[in-house]
């Protein structure tokens, strides 16, 4: 949020803003691809520590970067820093998601689903708090001071984890062949492909299109003073992600005691339902003039509706990947699966800038609709057993 809003104010175009996040998503894709391999080689806790360390160094790099480099050099420097941030984020994610398979009680599908939902939902709720914090910090402080605050928070968290000395014994740490990174289970492969287009459908409007649209709508608002647009855009994004996380954390209650076949059937149904909001909003954005009250209100309501449906889809996917994998292959399959997740974010980020440049918000939302059609078809093709 800090990077997006700050560089938009500096005059970066939607395409240039998308470039700032492309390396982030690309490095996240590579990290997920090798993440399971690294966990198998070095264990879960060292990978977690590595992620926190790299993220702190990335923020330091952003903070010390000169702001008078010109557009080209600024984009290049921030892309590099964002690349390291992408590595950090996904090292942390792979270690955490793999730990659920190892630590969750081996009693029933419902128990595993519950723990997956709680971890994934709480993680995304905290991400929403991050969106809000980024916007608030930038509204109150300047860009560098905001980064310094985030660095301090990360250092505190790292020290707290070290002091608590978490113990996670994973007896499967051993040498693995590179070819083992790829899954031979068709269920994992189809689910991963569905995940790619599911998250591509979110980020194609989430990264550039909607934040920039709202920033333009709210730029003359003075409810909170001269920086009102930051509060309003950050608030919308934060509430969206927090609602997403809270819904994820509760999803397991909808699917208690369902077997694998019924869960897969539900995944197809919810994927189909997720197509409704992007299609209707794309038509609304195409029909109404930009920045009208009707369109803005429709976006707020429609995207929050999409949020709830998307959260159920995401939670079902997060459970199914752990259900389909084995304890021995958990880090490898989770890494492979989140490689697809990161690839979808990469594709969505690229298409967000391109779509907004070519056809504005309506094309961003229609592209999301197309992606969701593909995600639904891929989910349908997952073998029943």
Q: What is the pLDDT of residue 21?
A: 78
pTM recorded for the entire structure: 0.75
Q: What is the pLDDT of residue 73?
A: 79
| Distance of alpha carbon 31 from alpha carbon 90, whole angstroms | 6
Q: What is the pLDDT of residue 279?
A: 96
Domains observed in the chain? 2-164+184-380 (1.20.1250.20)
* 32 closest CA partner among 244, 192, 173: 192
Q: What is the pLDDT of residue 148?
A: 93
Q: What is the pLDDT of residue 106?
A: 63
Q: What is the pLDDT of residue 226?
A: 53
How many Å is the maximal CA-CA distance in the chain? Answer: 60
Q: What is the pLDDT of residue 9?
A: 77
Q: Please, how many CA atoms are within 13 Å of residue 238, restricted to the half-sphere of its CB?
A: 17
Q: What is the pLDDT of residue 222?
A: 63
Q: What is the pLDDT of residue 379?
A: 93
For residues 57 and 192, the answer to whether their CB atoms sit within 8 Å is: no
For residues 112 and 325, the answer to whether their CB atoms sit within 8 Å is: no
291 φ, ψ (degrees, to nearest 5): 70, 25
**Tokens 């600024």 -> residue:** 74
- Residues 6 or more apart in contact with residue 292 via CB below 8 angstroms: none
Local structure of residue 141 (DSSP, 8 states): S
How does pLDDT run along the chain (385 residues), one tens digit per residue? Answer: 888 778 877 777 777 777 777 788 888 888 877 777 777 777 778 888 899 999 999 999 888 877 677 767 777 888 888 889 989 988 887 777 777 766 666 656 667 777 777 877 788 788 888 888 888 888 888 889 999 999 999 999 899 988 887 665 554 445 555 566 667 788 888 999 999 999 999 999 988 888 888 888 887 666 654 567 777 887 888 889 888 888 888 887 777 777 778 888 888 999 999 999 999 999 999 888 666 788 888 999 999 999 999 999 988 888 888 788 776 777 778 778 888 888 898 899 889 888 988 988 999 999 999 999 999 999 999 887 6
**Tokens 């920086």 -> residue:** 227
| Distance of alpha carbon 119 from alpha carbon 134, whole angstroms | 23
The token pair at 308 is: 């709830």
């Amino acid at each position: 949020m800090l990077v997006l809003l700050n560089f938009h104010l500096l005059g970066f175009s939607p395409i240039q803003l998308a470039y700032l996040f492309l390396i982030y998503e690309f490095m996240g894709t590579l990290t997920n691809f090798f993440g399971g391999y690294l966990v198998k080689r070095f264990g879960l806790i060292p990978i977690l520590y590595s992620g926190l360390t790299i993220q702190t160094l990335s923020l330091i790099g952003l903070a010390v970067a000169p702001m008078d480099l010109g557009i080209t050099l600024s984009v290049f420097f921030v892309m590099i820093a964002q690349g390291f941030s992408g590595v950090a984020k996904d090292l942390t994610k792979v270690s955490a998601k793999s730990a659920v398979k190892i630590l969750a009680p081996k009693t029933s599908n419902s128990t595993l689903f519950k723990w997956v939902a709680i971890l994934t939902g709480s993680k995304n709720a905290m991400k929403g708090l991050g969106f809000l914090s980024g916007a608030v910090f930038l509204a109150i402080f300047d860009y560098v001071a905001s980064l310094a605050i985030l660095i301090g928070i990360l250092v505190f968290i790292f020290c707290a984890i070290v002091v608590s000395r978490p113990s996670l014994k994973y007896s499967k740490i051993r040498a693995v062949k590179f070819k083992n990174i790829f899954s031979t289970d068709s269920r994992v492969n189809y689910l991963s492909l569905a995940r790619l287009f599911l998250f591509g459908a979110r980020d194609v409007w989430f990264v550039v299109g909607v934040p920039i649209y709202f920033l333009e709508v709210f730029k003359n608002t003075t409810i909170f003073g001269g920086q009102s647009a930051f509060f309003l855009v950050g608030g919308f994004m934060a509430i969206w992600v927090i609602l997403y996380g809270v819904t994820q954390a509760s999803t397991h209650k909808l699917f208690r005691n369902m077997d694998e076949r019924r869960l897969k059937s539900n995944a197809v149904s919810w994927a189909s339902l997720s197509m409704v909001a992007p299609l209707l909003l794309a038509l609304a954005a195409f029909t109404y003039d930009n920045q009208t009250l009707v369109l803005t209100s429709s976006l707020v309501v429609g995207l929050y509706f999409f949020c709830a449906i998307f959260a159920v889809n995401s939670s079902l996917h997060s459970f199914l990947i752990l259900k389909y994998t084995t304890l021995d292959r958990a880090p490898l399959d989770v890494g492979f699966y989140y490689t697809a997740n990161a690839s979808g974010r990469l594709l969505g980020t690229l298409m967000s800038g391109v779509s907004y440049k070519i056809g504005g918000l309506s094309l961003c939302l229609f592209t999301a609709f197309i992606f969701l059609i593909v995600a639904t078809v891929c989910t349908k093709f997952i073998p029943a057993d």
